[in-house]
Structure 1
Amino acid sequence: MAGAGSGAGETFRRLTRIGSITLDQSPLLELQERMSKKLKDLGTCEMLLSGMEDFEDKLFDYLCDSRDLVDIDRFKKILNQTGLRTTDPRLKEMMESFAEVEHKQLHDEHELRGSITRETFKECVTDNIVLIARALKNQFIIPEWRPFMDHIREIYDDCKQINDGKPAAYIPQLARVDPNYWGVSVCTIDGQRFSLGDTTIPFSLQSIVKPLAYALVLNDLTPEVVHNYVGQEPSGKSFNELTLDYQHKPHNPMINAGAIVVSSLLKKELNIADRFDYTMEQMKRLTGGEHLAFNNSVYLSERATADRNFALGYYMRENKCFPEGVDLHEVLEFYFQLCSIEVTAESGSVIAATLANGGICPMTGEKVLSADAVRNTLSLMHSCGMYDYSGQFAFKVGLPAKSGVAGGVMLVVPNVMGIFLWSPPLDKWGNSCKGVQFCQHLVAKFNFHNYDNLKHTQKKIDPRGRAMESKAQDVVNLLFSAYNGDVTAMRRYALLGMDMSLADYDGRTALHLAAAEGHEVIVKFLLEKCDVSPFLEDRWNCTPLEDAKKFGHENVELLLERHMAKHPENEEYYLRKNMENMRTN
């Protein structure tokens, strides 16, 4: 019995590593529930429960060199091109195994450093093979990651030229920030990451903390309880206006009055120190453990320039907006502390991606917020998140977002990705000039607007679309990659199970194009790893060898001749050629 079940047991052990789930960390029922969700996210159970050993061997075969070894750094680069980072916590076991191997190689003169054998490779990747397989089989939400990155880079560069706006002046600490900072960080719901510019410099969340505090309160209380104290409508007035709605409540949680009331509801049974610790802990979970800090100097500046917020607090206390027994000064202190929490564009993008993913952090697989709390939060971000520009932003961009006067903009593309933008110069509404323009350019290029899916809508790029939806598209992608010498793409297509001998209308194959362009690495990969026949002929009866000769690629010519000489089709091919020559003569 033990022998019969060992394969399934090994697969189950691997699956329990997804999202760092282990049997000793979770009760069995909770584990089963989380495993069930993971399996739904990753595709059919059959794919996960069978063929992983085959995949490991195929992967090694496609990556190994003439010495039958895999270069560790090259493998890491291939993963990076799918959007995965070597620092991804979901690849922790593999990276630790690689580090151990490389450490041993340093102390062994006879070891080939940086390269590993088949068995060692399989041992290193086995714990994370499901995630690796998804990455290399184009099963992430953005399957063609590199073209998407190129588009993001183009938009980033366009927005970099914008010189409008000035940093917020009413808080001294914000006024001193370098106005040239400009960072963009992307995190998809599958944990694909890409960053450009100043994405590791900390800055305070300011008003971006408002939807996060609101989500935490909704996660703890019901919407009915929360909205007994704060409304859900756009105010139509400035974010710090001394005004309430017709029910004598703040208009919504995205303006100062509403955020102060929400702060009074956040774990109100605890003392202020424990409330702050709780909030920091939950927000750390939203970032997947990435950078989150508290800036005391910003907090002191906030408190020193808080006359309007104190006036709002007293005005709301007069109108009985707070729960019973609330200490107004304590609530305001707590609110100033929340606004002074620091992130980077990198960690902020994970928060945005967690919202895009329905409250589950894509980097850890941990459920931080309920789906209902996220839905309600995104609804109000969509209608009220960009100060007095919210209506125009909803019209032009059509996505939930929240800005802050430190220059941050948190943009959420539901079920796809989170994007965090940072540039301190603000427009007249208090939004980052570069950040708003980036969002508008993004939606102009991609079909991310909430209503881009309507019939007869102008066609835009859909990065979620599979690049290989038909055989015709397969051929285009395959031949284009061969023509450009893109061996990484060729490996990915092979791992997807694509027929690497596919030909276009003229009978031209990837091997023909690679030979004609002199891409020796591609030719070698197709011949040795994919068993593509070197005798394939196009409509003019030309083989890849004839293409190599025609364009003077001697190395490719020798490679093809060597393979043709030992290929089973060799005798038949030359016999046929001789017969054709005899007929011609």
Structure 2
Amino acid sequence: IVNIGYIAQPYLCNAEKFDYVLNFLKKMAGNEYVGFSNATFQSERESGDRNFAIGYYLKEKKCFPTGTDMTAVLDLYFQLCSIEVTCESASVMAATLANGGFCPITGERVLSPEAVRDTLSLMHSCGMYDFSGQFAFHVGLPAKSGVAGGILLVVPNVMGIMCWSPSLDKLGNSVRGIQFCTDLVSLFNFHNYDNLRHFTKKHDPRREGGDQRVSRFLFCFYNVFIIHDCRFALSSVDMEQQDYDSRTALHIAAAEGHTEVVRFLLEACKVNPGPKDRWGNTPIDEATHFGHHEVLALLQEYNSKYNPPVNAGADKESTEKHLDGMLET
């Protein structure tokens, strides 16, 4: 309550502070619907005896700065409790938290990394009322529930989810919402401690097709072990495989400035020089961003004359002969 009185700037009136928070939430939601329910506000204010009691207790302990109008602070608090969202807009908010503070709709940075870390820590430890401890144990993800039946769930670096079902349990959480969250982590390894080494009992949707070779394949490019990449190509591994972010080995090689690896992929493997990742970036964009001019020139040369292979079988045979020659030398 003390902090709410000083949202944005301490000299702003309640209306300006409310507008500040509302606009901030709209940025988090990618300008999706964020509104206000006056009926909820009136109900909150009329039944807020416990909040008034806490406020007077804090005032008696001199927790408020001098000159603070406690009633005005509580009014702002009740107004903020009455902001309404849809499943769609709240899911974008969750995705913004999952995306490190960047709104996935607008691409705008809304929250700093520190703010995301602190918010997710609070959600993980106390976002589900008195059920927070059990939720952290069984689901292991940061979440925030509301008495309207919604649960906002964040899978860091993966996605944000908003589920809604108005039937509540005795602790004020959505019954079906909790069941959904439990079922989700029972199927996928999203629990905070599921990603321990050799834990393979659940599915990992971050590996496209569940192919464990993708991570090994990209790891080779990070370390520029071309001989391993040749073996991958000869063992019929698709050299255009993408990771969870739709990034290919060519993206990584271009970003790292590994000219020989880029040349190998373009000449020997005949990969597409212009694949796009989940953000729409191509290897050319990566080389440009990191200032790798030699790699950029090479990519531009191949991009201008690239034609998708028509005869995949003949193209594969040609590539294998080329690779055999490279291995012999």
TM-score range, shorter chain: 0.5 to 0.7
Counterparts of 1:31-70 in structure 2, within 5 Å, are none
TM-score where L is the length of structure 2: 0.65
1:321 shift after superposition = 2.6
Q: Gapped runs of 5+ residues in structure 1?
A: 1-259, 478-494, 499-528, 537-585
Q: Does 1:261 align with 2:6?
A: no
Aligned twin of 2:46: 304
Of 107, 110, 120, the match for 1:378: 120
Aligned twin of 2:311: 532
Counterparts of 1:190-269 in structure 2, within 5 Å, are 260-267=1-8, 268-269=10-11
The change in CA–CA distance for 1:427 and 1:533 in structure 2 (over 3 A counts) is closer
Counterpart amino acid of 1:395? F
C-alpha distance in 2, partners of 1:405/1:280? Answer: 20
Q: Does 1:331 align with 2:110?
A: no
1:380 shift after superposition = 1.2
Deviation readout 1:222-273 (Å, 9 max, x if unpaired): xxxxxxxxxxxxxxxxxxxxxxxxxxxxxxxxxxxxxx23322313321101
Secondary structure at 1:390 match in 2: helix
Aligned twin of 1:295: 37
Aligned twin of 1:360: 102
C-alpha distance in 2, partners of 1:426/1:531? Answer: 58
1:339 shift after superposition = 0.8
The change in CA–CA distance for 1:382 and 1:535 in structure 2 (over 3 A counts) is closer
Higher RCO (CA-CA < 8 Å; seq separation 6+)? 1
Aligned twin of 2:189: 447
Secondary structure at 1:453 match in 2: coil
Deviation readout 1:478-497 (Å, 9 max, x if unpaired): xxxxxxxxxxxxxxxxx975
1:530 shift after superposition = 5.0
Secondary structure at 1:261 match in 2: coil
The change in CA–CA distance for 1:454 and 1:535 in structure 2 (over 3 A counts) is closer
TM-score where L is the length of structure 1: 0.37
Aligned twin of 1:413: 155
Secondary structure at 1:274 match in 2: helix
Secondary structure at 1:463 match in 2: coil
The change in CA–CA distance for 1:377 and 1:531 in structure 2 (over 3 A counts) is same
C-alpha distance in 1, partners of 2:39/2:236? Answer: 60
Q: Does 1:423 align with 2:176?
A: no
C-alpha distance in 2, partners of 1:397/1:443? Answer: 6
1:314 shift after superposition = 1.0
Secondary structure at 1:301 match in 2: helix
Aligned residues: 230
Q: Conserved in 2, the CA contact under 8 Å of 1:264 and 1:322?
A: no
1:324 shift after superposition = 2.9
Q: Does 1:278 align with 2:39?
A: no
C-alpha distance in 2, partners of 1:371/1:404? Answer: 25
Deviation readout 1:503-558 (Å, 9 max, x if unpaired): xxxxxxxxxxxxxxxxxxxxxxxxxx75237999xxxxxxxxxxxxxxxxxxxxxx
Q: Conserved in 2, the CA contact under 8 Å of 1:398 and 1:449?
A: yes
C-alpha distance in 2, partners of 1:305/1:425? Answer: 21
Q: Does 1:389 align with 2:131?
A: yes
Counterparts of 1:16-35 in structure 2, within 5 Å, are none
1:323 shift after superposition = 2.9
Secondary structure at 2:208 match in 1: coil
Secondary structure at 1:300 match in 2: helix
Q: Gapped runs of 5+ residues in structure 2?
A: 215-234, 242-269, 274-307, 316-329
C-alpha distance in 2, partners of 1:306/1:341? Answer: 16
Counterpart amino acid of 2:41? Y
C-alpha distance in 1, partners of 2:314/2:193? Answer: 51
Counterparts of 1:143-162 in structure 2, within 5 Å, are none
Deviation readout 1:277-320 (Å, 9 max, x if unpaired): 11111111010100110111111111121111111111121122
1:372 shift after superposition = 0.5
C-alpha distance in 2, partners of 1:337/1:292? Answer: 13
- Identity across aligned pairs (percent)? 59
C-alpha distance in 2, partners of 1:392/1:299? Answer: 31
Secondary structure at 1:335 match in 2: helix
